[in-house]
């Protein structure tokens, strides 16, 4: 069995500088390195399969994988024709809900002036509740109009979950909607 063992301490025979006739005829040239041991080959294979990443690289890799999984799940969720119709319906109309988040930020800033003008805080709170009621009324009108459009275009479609989906899209700022709007305001869909 000693015949198959390789002794790294031995000096290799010098190789000829010119390829011999036998090697060119066979189409193979001599290799310039020794064959790796099984242990070395398995270590190289493991290293290729399980790369050693730094913490920063591992975090970036995990974030990238999570993002692709999220996008795949969102595309599967949003792929139904009813939701596509809802998105187009919401994107084609003017929604008061788009201004809900920016107005709530302004109203919150006004409530910090409580020590200076207490009446301003009271008025801004009343305005906030009125604006939320106005957004809810706009959502009611949106839902009523959408149900008519859905009954015309897809009479057997389920409406389960579409009200929440439409309201969620209506209160988002148009620029930040996902998936992005395909049509402009006022366009037919």
- Inside any domain, residue 19: no
The model's pLDDT over 98-114, given as tens digits with 9 standing for 90+, comes to 999 999 998 888 888 77
Task: Please indicate, yes or no, if residue 11 is contained in any of the structural domains.
Answer: no
Query: Residue 165 falls within a domain, yes or no?
Result: yes
Phi then psi dihedrals of residue 179, to 5 deg = -65, 155
Segments forming the whole domain that contains residue 92: 81-176
Residue 176 has pLDDT above 70, yes or no: yes
Kindly report, residue by residue over 7-65, the tens digit of the pLDDT.
555 555 555 555 555 555 556 777 888 899 999 998 888 877 777 778 898 899 899 99
Residue 108 lies in a domain: yes
Q: Quick check: 97 and 138 in contact, CB under 8 A?
A: yes
10 belongs to a structural domain: no
Cβ neighbors of 171 (< 8 A, separation 6 or more) are 95, 97, 98, 100, 101, 135
Residue 41: strand, helix, or coil: helix
In this structure, the answer to whether residues 146 and 105 fall within a common structural domain is yes
Of 52, 77, 102, the position where a domain reaches its end is 77
Please identify, among 48, 77, 106, the residue that sits at the C-terminal boundary of a domain.
77
């Amino acid at each position: 069995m000693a015949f198959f063992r390789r002794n790294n301490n031995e000096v290799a025979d010098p190789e000829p500088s010119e390829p011999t006739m036998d090697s060119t005829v066979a189409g193979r040239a001599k290799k310039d390195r020794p064959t790796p041991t099984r242990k070395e080959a398995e270590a190289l294979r493991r290293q290729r399969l399980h790369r050693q990443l730094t913490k920063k690289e591992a975090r970036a890799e995990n974030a990238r994988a999570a993002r692709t999984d999220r996008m795949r799940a969102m595309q599967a969720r949003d792929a139904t024709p009813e939701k596509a119709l809802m998105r187009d319906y919401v994107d084609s109309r003017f929604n008061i809900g788009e201004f809900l988040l920016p107005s709530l930020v302004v109203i919150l800033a006004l409530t910090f002036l409580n020590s200076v003008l207490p009446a301003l805080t009271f008025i801004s709170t009343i305005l906030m509740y009125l604006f939320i009621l106005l957004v809810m009324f706009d959502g009611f009108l949106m839902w009523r109009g959408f149900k008519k459009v859905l009954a015309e275009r897809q009479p057997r479609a389920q409406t389960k979950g579409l009200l929440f989906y439409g309201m969620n899209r209506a209160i988002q700022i148009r620029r930040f909607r996902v998936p992005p709007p395909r049509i402009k305001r006022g366009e037919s869909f």
